[in-house]
Structure 1
Amino acid sequence: MSTTEQIDIPGTDPAMLRPGGGGPAGVRGSRRRAGAAVRRPAAAAVLGTGLILIGLNLRIGVAAVGPVLADIRASLGLSASVASLLTTIPVVAFGVFAFGTPGLSRRIGMHRLLGLTMLALAAGIVLRLHSSLAALFAGTILIGAAIAIGNVLMPAAIKQDFAHRTGLMMGLYSTALFVGAALASGLTAPILPAVGGQWRAALAVWAIPAVLALLVWIPQLRRTPERARTTPTLADGPDAPGEPPMRALLTDPTAIAVTALMGLQSMGYYAMLTWVPSILQDDGMDATSAGWMLSYSAFPGIAAALFTPALARRMRPAWLPVLASVVLTALAYTGLACAPATGTYVWMTLLGLGQGAAISLSLTYIVWRSPDTHHTGHVSTMAQGFGYLFAGAGPLAMGAVHTATGGWAVPLLVLGLLLALQLAAGAIASRDVHVRARSR
């Protein structure tokens, strides 16, 4: 594989980078170094597998709690509000800890830090084995912090190592998020009998995928920050001279749109993740069937997440995929508001397709709207930091509106109105422009 055919250096004439095409030797050397990560097919396969396995783990620690939440409450005597913190804390942590990721990446190195997130994630999951309530919540916070760092680093790592295949890799990454969530939500309860009905042991089982990802990632741990600094566009090294800091993006329309899209679609996703079973049960469906319907929605979500980035590259106008995701989600909300326990498979299919497309687009736009890995890290931090802080209010706000109105129609209507803002943000984010393009 020729490296001069794979990686694009923003702001550089492609003719200068072809063999014999002239141009500064330093630019050609930088291009060769940037392509080193994908030069050997075997090394690229190991690297890609490691990234996908890391992505698989970035929802498991949170999704595994829901199926055994009733067991946790009964065992520890927790109220519903206190128990709900076990699913709310990680989402808030996704936002809070995202802002510290760039500094850690500069000090430790992006690839080493990704490995440490898997170690921290496994440690947080195992910590919940301890019988104390403090250990349960400490493990939950550690899990949220590890996932937050992984969330921010993954788009930057894909931009750096697979710049020639960002659409494919972002699709696979988004799919891995859905697969991990589906596995955890669907298998945690069936694991209970195999571990003597102990919910702590059932949760601890999910440390195994994190350890597996860490083992596959071992070859990447030798990639030092110093080596990455040979090219100024990589997120491992310090900011290059003249590069704008992240605060410069706070007024950039494209960066704001990507952040708004991430926050709005995440709010809807976590609101539905929390309340869909209750919506269905209040309409007469039994708890087991309601839980299955939520798990089922992940399957169309997986398909949408996998194929949406590739379709978005080809569809014109560019905002059509965003419109499709919004319309599908709006139809699902309408069905759940009007006849939740009738035609439930239809509503859950529409919901999965809409949410899968939305999360895939929001993550992919982080990469596509960044001219280089340096900016990808900043946009990822901004979008996921502010986005998840905003999304954390979704489940709480929906529950509050339900309590005030005594039904689910008004909360679903509010979520539907927010889809209009999601469409507007997505339309701006879909424009083929880079953040801070003027500074380049």
Structure 2
Amino acid sequence: YFCLLVGLKSYLFLLHAGVSYNFEKTENGIFRLKLTANATKTIADLRRPLEILMKGKTINHPDLTLSAVQLLLSRDGVAHLKSIEQETGTYIMYDRQSLNIKVFGHQEQMAAAEVKLVHALRQLLEKKPLEICLRGHNLPPDLMKKTVENFGVDLEGFNKEMPEIKVELHQHRHLLKVWGSKEDKRRVERMIFELASFKHSSLVQLASENVGGKEDNQRVDYSEPSEDACPICLCEIEDPFRLESCGHMFCLACLMDQCESAMKSHDGFPICCLKTGCKEPLLVVDLKHLLSNEKLEDLFRASLRAFVASRAGMYRFCPTPDCQSIYQVAAPDAETKPFSCGACYVEICTKCHFEYHPFISCEAYKEYKEDPDSTLLEWRKGKANVKSCPSCGYTIEKADGCNHVECRCGSHICWVCLENFRSSEECYGHLRSVHQSFVDIV
């Protein structure tokens, strides 16, 4: 947040000279900004744009799919993000808990950063290879073999038809990777799916021909794997891995893909054994063998997001970006108690989810947050000695003295009729000729 602090100081110095302020850093590392001015209106004028600056803007764009957003964690994604921050003078944050991208800065800067970031992620996504899985419950067990038979060991069949693309086969993971345009990727995907559909139709036809004949006991059951097959890919087990909880055997790569899929889709939790009728949860000892420490941390984050999402309205994440703490939402009729985050030390109201506000109701505080000037307008009601400068709109309170008032913007104002002048002499002349007095006559 260093660039935000610099931006705040620049804003205060350039736009509101004369206002005193200082940054206080607490023992927990939290910065507090203290503003001091000689008028309530000044504080209100300052606080609103500062709160907008600190709130930031969540980028919502149809091109920012989950696949595109996750590119921010890649080396190229981080490089693009830092470059855009420097070009636009903003701060961009990817919150891995809410899966949101927020940009902080002034309005024009945030708009420019959003355009550049969406464009950069769109280009990165187009360069990212399309992954086509060649195994699974709905695919023929020997689809990879048939792919090699149809297109060659080095997949030269794809290169002959579409020389502008690059296709690689990862045999260990039963996976195709395709580099090219979106349409080229879709074309390869259609060719593979057509091959899978043809193979599936052949198996079904063979099964139907055997029904009722002397070889009825040899019918092909496409949905049931053999005892020695991996329950996920339905193929012969490669790199066998035995689960600690239930003892069932899987391909090592299949279990790794199961964990990766849960992290990306957020709907695969809890992660359980996929052997028919088992559903035993995978233990941490298994996950430590399957995933690196970094991937394991991502899995735990995704699991926590899935837990909070499945209990909508009961729990919420701490609003501090990237904070992993959660808190229980208070019932509407319950006593308001703050949530004190042990990770980032903020205090949150568990009813309205704004900063904790012990001396004001949630409704009043929400209204204040939406319109900080509302308290000032309420204070002005019925006060004859409070008026607005006709030149700049600044709120002026006249405690005593004559009817000539000088605003901070330099205007000389007649307090009786609010006509403004360039000099005090002109204002006094107006008071003599029009109102025949410098002071109010009671």
TM-score by length of 1: 0.24
Of Structure 1 and Structure 2, the greater helix share is in 1
TM-score by length of 2: 0.24
Of Structure 1 and Structure 2, the greater strand share is in 2
